Amino acid sequence: MTATAHSIRPMVLKPEEVTIELTLALPEDLKEFDSWVILADGARERKMRLRTGVIFWLRSMITLQIGSTPYILNDRTDLQELAEWLKNDMVYIAKNPFNN
């Protein structure tokens, strides 16, 4: 609400339309480096973790349309369900403008 000298009136904002180019997500798009793990033979291996905060969209297996509702990866994301979506090529993320 905005206040004027005479009355309170609702603030009106014009809706904006945004276009986002999406690309099929790969499992490595949803992971980030966590730490190094020392193996029994002394070699090091990278330990990865879920990249929280990634925004993604799901494609319907029935209509093959990408839904308009975005989702956000967080610590409550069901990893088995996410793996299933990835396996079925259902997860899309915003295309990185720096990678062609």
Q: Across the 100 residues of the chain, what is the mean pLDDT of every consecutive 10-residue run?
A: 59 80 94 92 92 95 93 95 97 83
CA-CA distance, 91 to 85, in Å (whole number)? 6
Predicted confidence at residue 1, as pLDDT, reads: 46
